[in-house]
C-alpha cells in the first residue's frame, strides 16, 4: 500500500529541493555587504517621495476592469477556434453574436470617454 505513495513523496521531495535549494544556496554563498542605500525601503538609494498608501484614481480601476473584460473574450475564442469543425454553423453564429455584443460594448465605452486619460 505504501509503495503506491512513494512516487508522490519523491516528487514532493524533489519539488521542495528545487524550490528551496537555490534560495538556500544564495543565502549561504551570497555576499553580505549591507549599506544604507541597500537597506533603504525601496532599495533604490533614496527615500520615497510620497506615501505608498496613496489613493489611485478611479479611472485606473476602470481601465483595468475594461481590460479584464475584453481580455476574457480571448479565453472564449481559443476553444471556439479549435472546435469550430465540430460545432458547425451554429457555433459560428453564436460566436458572431458574442463578438457583436462585445463590439457594441466597446463602442459604448469609447463614446462615453472611458478610455480617455487626461
pLDDT in tens, 50-64: 666 767 677 778 888
Q: Is the pLDDT of residue 26 over 60?
A: yes
Task: Supply the pTM of this predicted model.
Answer: 0.48
| Residues 60/67, Cβ–Cβ less than 8 Å | no
> What local confidence, expressed as pLDDT, does residue 61 receive?
81
> What local confidence, expressed as pLDDT, does residue 11 receive?
95
Range 2-112 classified under CATH 1.10.10.10: no
> What local confidence, expressed as pLDDT, does residue 21 receive?
95
Q: At 66, is the pLDDT very low, low, confident or very high (cuts 50, 70, 90)?
A: confident
Q: At 25, is the pLDDT very low, low, confident or very high (cuts 50, 70, 90)?
A: very high
Amino acid at each position: 500500500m505504501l509503495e503506491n505513495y512513494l512516487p508522490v513523496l519523491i516528487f514532493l521531495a524533489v519539488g521542495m529541493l528545487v524550490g528551496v535549494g537555490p534560495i538556500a544556496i544564495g543565502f549561504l554563498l551570497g555576499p553580505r555587504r549591507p549599506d544604507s542605500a541597500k537597506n533603504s525601503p525601496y532599495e533604490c538609494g533614496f527615500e520615497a517621495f510620497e506615501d505608498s498608501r496613496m489613493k489611485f484614481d478611479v479611472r485606473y480601476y476602470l481601465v483595468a476592469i475594461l481590460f479584464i473584460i475584453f481580455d476574457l473574450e480571448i479565453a472564449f475564442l481559443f476553444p471556439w477556434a479549435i472546435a469550430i469543425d465540430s460545432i458547425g454553423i451554429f457555433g459560428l453564429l453564436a460566436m458572431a453574436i458574442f463578438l457583436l455584443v462585445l463590439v457594441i460594448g466597446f463602442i459604448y465605452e469609447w463614446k462615453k470617454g472611458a478610455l480617455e486619460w487626461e
